Structure 1
Amino acid sequence: MDRQREIMARLESGGGVRSVAGLANDLGVSDETIRRELRILEKQGSVVREHGGARLAAHVFEGPLMQRMEENAAAKQRIAAAAAKFVHDGMILFIDAGTTSCIIAKQLTARRSLTVITNSLQVATDLGGINGNCLFLAGGQMDYDYHAFSDHTAQEYVAGFTPHLSILSVGAIEAKRGLMDFHPGEAAMSRIAYATSERVLLGADASKFGRYGLIHTAPLSSVDILVTDAPLDDEYAGAFQHAEVVTA
């Protein structure tokens, strides 16, 4: 692990592709040792190996909420319509601040007597004050890009509830590495939901599969219901065989 951290540090400081020979010389080890470490880092999604060397992997970062709401919008709408069928009057729900979750929330405006726990201003606006719903909004420091609260104050608040169902979004899904996100606070909110909810519904469009995120949130086995917009390939179908999978 120390050697891998040294390799990552040199790639980060190098600003481009570093040769195997150069890395080996820097660290005082053989070329084959560097190649072995690079293979491990590549499997982790940290680097991309190129002929005779390697470079840092280009991670995907998320933009502000309104921008992300427009990405894959048609797929998210189909996912939302399918996900809404799992929500019944009187349920206790946690709904996170991800864009897919926000779109699912808009599909629930005809449900009655919901108890909604959320850290999302958008979800609170759409579901609070209607149809006899009871709303609990996590507070703390607002993240203006996400229109949400996800700091330690918000996390402690949400951790006190025990929802029937949590409706979650995700930044990235990889068959071996599991579920990942890009925002530390939102990743922490997801971990809380997986730990406290009776069941978890994950809404994820096809672009999230095979993608790498910055922060691991949970193994794939933590998902009870997966709603997506395209059939899973064999690898992911096997990885989610424990869950109820709905293709919208």
Structure 2
Amino acid sequence: MHKRSKRQREIVSRLRSGLSVSVTELASELDVSDETIRRELRALEESGILVREHGGAKLANPTLEGPLSQRMDMNTEAKMRIARAAAELVDDGAILFIDSGTTSCFIAKQLVERRSLTVITNSFQVATDLGGINDNTLFLAGGQMDYDYHAFSDHAAQAYVRQFSPHLAILSVGGICLDHGLTDFHPGEAAMSRIAYETSRRVVLGADASKFGQHAVHRTAPLNRVDVLVTDLPLSDGYAQAFAHAEVIVA
């Protein structure tokens, strides 16, 4: 299982350039059979990370996201590694904004042992996990719930979140692109991210390999607004240069 996971991470790393890669090329580079590569590509396709083509594959380029329950089951191993690493950045007593992305929800679950947190969130899932425990203080944005996201991100929720100045924002992202910066699929969630970038002292972005090279429809911020990037694979040269200003943690 460990070897399979490593192979899949290496395949995704090779696809980050945005170019298609053939089965034969991957098999040669990873020193395995063509059938082994096809098996790994099938698994990655089922996870929504890539699209198989005749003789090869390329990273998927989705135009919308599914409901939270479905997205929580995608790339779970990578999100767990990111969550554990990101949680190490949070001390007892921290004042946090946590958004409603799935990676942020994974991170929130890793914070259940922290004490005296002040948590500002628009995510019902985050509020459920961190509210009412360990002397935490919870501020949950209200408004009209988006049931696909289990979150509040309308104008009322945005105005509520804008009141706060958290020490740290923990954010997810729909896509990371060298040309377009950070983007999201949902206009309300994109607005929440923009508010967090404006009002937080420091921003931690959790993003697995499938986010790189993706371009969602709503812009949130340029890449240079990220203070700490937590991801699951080493960055390609282009992205390493783009995030040279930030602390990059590979989980």
Query: What TM-score do you get using the length of structure 2 for normalisation?
Result: 0.76
Q: How does 1:121-200 map to 2 (within 5 A)?
A: 121-200=124-203
Structure 1 counterpart of 2:30: none
Asked whether the equivalents of residues 61 and 215 of structure 2 are also in contact (C-alpha less than 8 Å), the reply is no
Distance in 1 (CA, whole Å) between partners of 2:196 and 2:123 is 14
Find 1:226's aligned residue among 224, 229, 250. 229
SS of match in other structure, 2:119:
strand
> Which of 98, 116, 120 is the matching residue for 1:95?
98
Greater gyration radius: 1
Q: Distance in 1 between matches of 2:210 and 2:241?
A: 18
Structure 1 pair 111/61, CA: closer, same or farther in 2 (3 Å)? same
Shift of 1:150: 0.2
Q: Hey, what's the Cα distance between the residues in 2 that align with 1:207 and 1:119?
A: 24
Residue of structure 2 aligned with 1:247, choices 215, 237, 250: 250
Shift of 1:60: 2.7
AA aligned to 2:168 is L
Q: Which has the higher contact order (CA 8 A, sep 6+)?
A: 2
Task: Tell me how far apart the structure 1 counterparts of residues 190 and 89 of structure 2 sit (CA, whole Å).
Answer: 23
> Partners of 2:125 and 2:144 in 1: how far apart?
16
CA distance in 1, matches of 2:63, 2:235: 22
Give 1:110's aligned amino acid: E
> Helix, strand or coil for the counterpart of 1:237?
helix
Displacement of 1:175: 1.0
**1:28-177 superposed matches below 5 A:** 59-177=62-180
Structure 1: which 5+ runs fail to align? 1-56
Letter in 1 for 2:247: E
**Residue-by-residue CA offset, 1:7-33 (whole Å, 9 max, x unaligned):** xxxxxxxxxxxxxxxxxxxxxxxxxxx
Give the drift of 1:230: 0.2
* Structure 1 stretches of 4+ moved >6 Å: none
Shift of 1:156: 0.1
Q: Aligned residue for 1:30?
A: none
Question: Could you tell me how far apart the structure 2 residues matched to 1:138 and 1:145 are?
Answer: 16
For residues 59-111 of structure 1, the C-alpha deviation after alignment (integer angstroms, 9 at most, x for no partner) is 43100001000110100000000000000000100000000000000000000
Deviations along 1:179-201, whole A, 9 cap, x unmatched?
00000000000000000000000
Root-mean-square deviation (CA, aligned residues, Å) is: 1.1
Structure 2 unmatched runs, 5+: 1-59
Give the Cα–Cα distance (whole angstroms) in 2 for the partners of residues 170 and 149 of structure 1. 16
Letter in 2 for 1:131: N
TM (norm. structure 1) is: 0.76
SS at match of 1:86: coil
SS at match of 1:75: helix
Cross-structure match for 2:215: 212
1:127, 1:90 → 2: CA distance?
A: 13
Say which SS state the counterpart of residue 104 (structure 1) adopts: helix
CA deviations on 1:104-148 (whole Å, 9 max, x unpaired) are 000000000000000000000000000000000000000000000
Letter in 2 for 1:78: R
